Structure 1
Amino acid sequence: MIEMQDVWKTYPNGSEALRGISIKIDRNEFVYVVGPSGAGKSTFMKLMYREERPTKGQIFVNGFNLEKLKQRKIPYVRRNIGVIFQDFRLLPKLTVAENIAFAMEVIEAPTKMIRKRTAEVLELVRLKDKGNNYPSELSGGEQQRVAIARAIVNNPAVIVADEPTGNLDPETSWGIMRLLEEINFRGTTIVMATHNKDIVNTMRKRVIAIEAGQVARDEARGEYGYED
């Protein structure tokens, strides 16, 4: 599903974000990516959806070699990867339903399919009565649910979630985690970067810890392992 082979990333200013990363994530896994701030977690996540490219090494996602990918194939690969951000990144002038539908419009899905699928994911994220609202009319937790709906509307094989509970209170965070667990149960691979020790230690999943650009730990049913 996702494989990195001896991946290095050096930025133009000379800073090394990642050094010799080799990992494999199987289909249907739920993986936490943890580590100190500045350890390379964000770069690690961005490489999976080709927001960044490695300086050295190879990355395979859902059967595609991202380094050998032709430019015209990038949109096809990205439609199979849903991305969830800490700051939601919703379009403020579009309604909830329009924000979700937009992800299907960019891949030129048929209008009838867009309406049907948008309604389905709104129900899944428990926002079926909020489709005509605008993001500014929603709570932070509701906005994150919209972001999740947008990420899954194209039935991606993988979801990359970068601190999806970072701006949420504890109760709302647990609601988001239960939703992500349900999506994972339905067959979607989830890779989630987080600083939330309670979530990692309670919902015991695989933990990949990155320190100074390298994999320091890779444990099934692991713990967070850092002090706040």
Structure 2
Amino acid sequence: MIEMRDVWKVYSNNVKAINGINIVIQKGEFVYVVGPSGAGKSTFIKMMYREEKPTKGEIFIDSTNLAAIKESKIPHVRRRIGVVFQDFKLLPTFTVFENIAFALEVIEESPAIIKRKVMDVLEIVRLKNKARFLPSELSGGEQQRVAIARAVVNNPEVLIADEPTGNLDPDTAWGIMDILDEINHRGTTIIMATHNKDIVNTIKKRVIAIEGGRVVRDEVRGAYGYET
């Protein structure tokens, strides 16, 4: 599904963010990416949706090598990948419905299909009754649920979540994890970078630990392993 082969990322100031990573993530897995600040987690995540390009090595999503594709092909590849950010990145003047629909409008889906898909995904994230609300009228947890809905409305093969509970209180964070777990059970591969020790240690999944740009631990049903 996703494979990194001898992947390196060296920035212009000669900082080595990723140092020879080899990893395989199978279809349908739920993977936590953990490690101390500055370990290379964000670069690792960003290379999976070609926000960053590796300096050396190959990154495959199925048979597509993200390291080698032309810039013009990146939007097409990203249709197969949903991304959720810590700070939501919602359009403030768009309603909940419009924020989610925008992801389908850019690929020119018909209005009828857009309405059906948006309402279906609002059901999954439990916000069907807030379709007409603006982001400013929602709590932080609700805004993150809208961001998740937008990321999965086009049924991506992979959902990449970069600190999705980082700005949320503990109770709200558990609710977000319930939704991500449901999406995973529907067949979507989930890769989640997180500093949340309690979540990783309670909801057991595969754990990939990165330190100094290297994978230092890769465990099925692993633990967080760091002080918080």
TM range (shorter): over 0.9
Whether 1:19 aligns to 2:19 is yes
| Map of 2:30 onto structure 1 | 30
Root-mean-square deviation (CA, aligned residues, Å) is 0.7
3-state SS, counterpart of residue 161 of structure 1: strand
Any conservation in 2 of the 1:6–1:57 contact (CA below 8 Å)? yes
Stretches of structure 2 that go unaligned for 5 or more consecutive residues are: none
1:59-208 alignment runs, 5 A limit? 59-208=59-208
Any conservation in 2 of the 1:82–1:158 contact (CA below 8 Å)? yes
Q: Give the number of aligned pairs.
A: 228
| Map of 2:3 onto structure 1 | 3
Relative distance call for 1:62 and 1:109 in structure 2 (3 A) is farther
Per-residue displacement from partner, 1:194-220 (whole Å, max 9, x unpaired)? 000000000110000000000000000
3-state SS, counterpart of residue 128 of structure 2: coil
**Structure 1 length-normalised TM:** 0.99
Any conservation in 2 of the 1:85–1:163 contact (CA below 8 Å)? yes
3-state SS, counterpart of residue 3 of structure 1: strand
| Further displaced range: 57-66 or 70-79 | 70-79
Per-residue displacement from partner, 1:98-149 (whole Å, max 9, x unpaired)? 0000001111111111111001001110000101000000000000000000
**Structure 2 length-normalised TM:** 0.99
| Map of 2:47 onto structure 1 | 47
Distance 2:93 2:62 in 1: 34
Distance 1:74 1:113 in 2: 24
Distance 1:63 1:100 in 2: 29
CA offset at residue 86 of structure 1?
Answer: 0.3
Distance 1:68 1:196 in 2: 34
Distance 1:124 1:34 in 2: 27
CA offset at residue 38 of structure 1?
Answer: 0.2
CA offset at residue 76 of structure 1?
Answer: 1.4
Any conservation in 2 of the 1:53–1:67 contact (CA below 8 Å)? yes
CA offset at residue 165 of structure 1?
Answer: 0.2
Per-residue displacement from partner, 1:61-104 (whole Å, max 9, x unpaired)? 13311122133321111011000000000000100000000001
3-state SS, counterpart of residue 217 of structure 2: strand
Counterpart amino acid of residue 134 in structure 2: Y
Any conservation in 2 of the 1:62–1:157 contact (CA below 8 Å)? no
